[in-house]
A and B are shown apart, each in its own frame.
Chain A
Amino acid sequence: MTLLQVEALDCRYGLLQAVRGVSFDIAQGETLALIGANGAGKTTLLRAIAGAHRPATGRVWFAGADITHMPAHRRVELGIALVSEGRRLFPSLTVEENLRVASARRRGRWNVDTVLDVFPLLKPRRHMPAATLSGGEQQAVAIGRALMSNPRLLLLDEVSLGLAPVVVDAVYRSLGDVIGEGATVLLVEQDLTRALQVAGRVVCMLEGRVVLQGEAASLDRDRVVSAYFGLRRPA
């Protein structure tokens, strides 16, 4: 079953066109990696799906409903959660408060305790302001905050950015638990190897367009690399 369908989406910042006619879809339970160089439009695309950026044209469908003009907070209620690039925590709120402001009405397995079980490093930090946490801890809170709404579709924007490799491993191990639960995940990742490892399918963007997509297992690395840098455009 198709959970998310993006149809000929155009996103602009004034005169700059960040996303150009992008179409793709994600099936329920699938993990899809969105890759591409800096400025390829990945973050904008994710923000448009989450409702934080209003697309110029095109449509976004979620679970059969047209959500193109729905505000972000209502999409969260429908089950779309975005972990923003740069974490974007509420700095003066404690870890627990950061999690609890995001608990939507949707029922599911995620609450403060289950999130802390998946990210045990947060347990001793529970009552500390988010501003005092390390980068890895902040990333865990950001992912936990997205999980609190019990999303059907989890959007992850560069969760490894600015983190030490050992911390990235820990974050992805925890994500493995989440993905293993049958969640649908759309992730943006700069690290190609990791993206191909985690995702079932890969969509590669270049200058706002989709230049390559396919099953992660069937794509050979050279083709992905050339699409990534735009060395040789597929016919």
Chain B
Amino acid sequence: MTVANAVLQGVFLGAFYAVLACGLSIMFGVMRIINLAHGDVAVLGAYIVYVIVERTGVPAFVAFAVALPVMVLLGYVLQLTVLERSLKSGILTPLLATFGLSIVIQNLLQLVFSPDVRSLGGSAGSVTTASWQVTSGLSVSALGLLVLVVAVLLFAALQLFLSKTRAGWIMRATAEDADAAELAGIDSRSVYARATAIAVGIAALGGLFLGIRSVFDPVSGPTQLIFAFEAVVIGGMGSLWGTLLGGIALGVAQTVGAQIHPQFAVMAGHLLFLAVLIVRFGGGRLVLRTA
């Protein structure tokens, strides 16, 4: 029963990783950018929610509704001002640019908020503590379930957007062949800016869940990035549903690993990640698309 419970808790944890990984997956899928600042962007989102909660006293979910448009706009501007330029000079430059961005965000957060640890748990209402005991060994937390439901809805909404709307087709067309898309009358700069805006908005959602689930400080980003990155790779780079499954696989590996030994949790996730890397990309099948 404890194993079943560990798997269930792993699914909930994995859904959280999937939300974090979603934006990373979008940016990689559309622009082939590996955004090393993704975790820091999520933490920035958590801080913005935190500031709104502190100033106005509204619940964290309400504060998120205010923070979301701010983050979306930030993503749009970030793409047009920084990432757009870096994309023009090969595949290495965006990696370096986002690495620099990561350091800038961390230091700005240190400067403004000090290295103190914060949490949004207290301002999220009863959802953080409520749970249902299914059997003696199996319990479902309201927060875990909420994150899972939101994650599934998020991925379903993105899937619908990409497969059913013209804006979604345009995004896929640009991802597949940006040069041909331009020649078909598609403004690839604007498509990229929209993709980053969506990715940053979803990162903020990940930041909200991070802050409610546990605690964050200005340097929490890189750890979140690693889990998000592992989820993307386990699920198959650039594949949307794969990212959700990859996040869940990572979460389950961690919670089941914790059953073996509490200190083995994170390591179990890394081992799964390495195993997937070896199985999928062993034998020189890792090919980076450069054009």
Contact = CB atoms under 8 A, between A and B. Distances in A.
B185 A104 contact: yes
Interface in A2-16: none
Interface string A61-92: 00000000001111011000110100011111
B183 A84 contact: yes
Contacts of A161: none
Interface residues of A, number: 27
Contact of B177 (A71, A74, A88): A88
Contacts of B54: none
A51 B182 contact: yes
B174 to A, nearest CB: 9
B146 interface: no
B182 A71 contact: yes
B interface: dominant SS: helix
Given A73-B187, A93-B169, A93-B176, 8 more contacts: A51-B183, A91-B176, A92-B176, A97-B173, A98-B173, A100-B169, A101-B186, A149-B185
Given A84-B180, A88-B180, A101-B166, A73 B172 contact: no
Nearest to B189: A71
B173 A90 contact: yes
Contacts of A91: 176
B188 A73 contact: yes
Interface of A: 50-52, 71-74, 76-77, 81-82, 84, 88-93, 97-98, 100-102, 104, 145-146, 149
Contacts of A76: 183-185
Interface residues of B, number: 17
- Report which residue of B166, B180, B186 has the largest number of chain A beta carbons within 10 angstroms of its beta carbon: B180
Contacts of A52: 179, 182-183
B57 to A, nearest CB: 47
Nearest to B168: A97
Contacts of B183: 50-52, 72-73, 76, 81-82, 84, 88
A82 B179 CA distance: 12
Nearest to A88: B180
B80 interface: no
5 closest A-B pairs by CB: A76-B185, A88-B180, A102-B184, A72-B182, A90-B173
A93 B166 contact: no
B272 interface: no
Contacts of B170: 101
A91 B172 CA distance: 10
Contacts of A90: 169, 172-173, 176-177, 180-181
B175 to A, nearest CB: 9
Contacts of B182: 51-52, 71-73
Given A145-B184, A149-B185, A101 B179 contact: no
A97 B185 contact: no
A51 to B, nearest CB: 7
A172 B200 CA distance: 48
Interface in B145-168: 166
- Report which residue of A90, A98, A102 has the largest number of chain B beta carbons within 10 angstroms of its beta carbon: A90
A50 B185 CA distance: 10
Nearest to B187: A73
A25 B166 CA distance: 36
Contacts of A145: 184
B172 A92 contact: yes
26 contacts: A51-B182, A51-B183, A52-B179, A71-B182, A72-B183, A73-B182, A73-B187, A73-B188, A76-B184, A77-B185, A82-B183, A84-B183, A89-B180, A90-B172, A90-B176, A91-B176, A97-B173, A98-B173, A100-B166, A101-B166, A101-B170, A101-B173, A102-B185, A104-B185, A149-B184, A149-B185
B176 A97 contact: no
B204 to A, nearest CB: 29
B184 A93 contact: no
Nearest to B170: A101
A77 B185 CA distance: 7
B182 to A, nearest CB: 4
B193 to A, nearest CB: 14
Contact of A97 (B169, B179, B181): B169
Nearest to A47: B183
A22 B116 CA distance: 66
B185 A93 contact: no
A98 B180 CA distance: 11
B183 to A, nearest CB: 5
Interface in B24-76: none
A77 B166 CA distance: 17
B181 to A, nearest CB: 8
Given A52-B179, A88-B180, A100-B166, A73 B173 contact: no
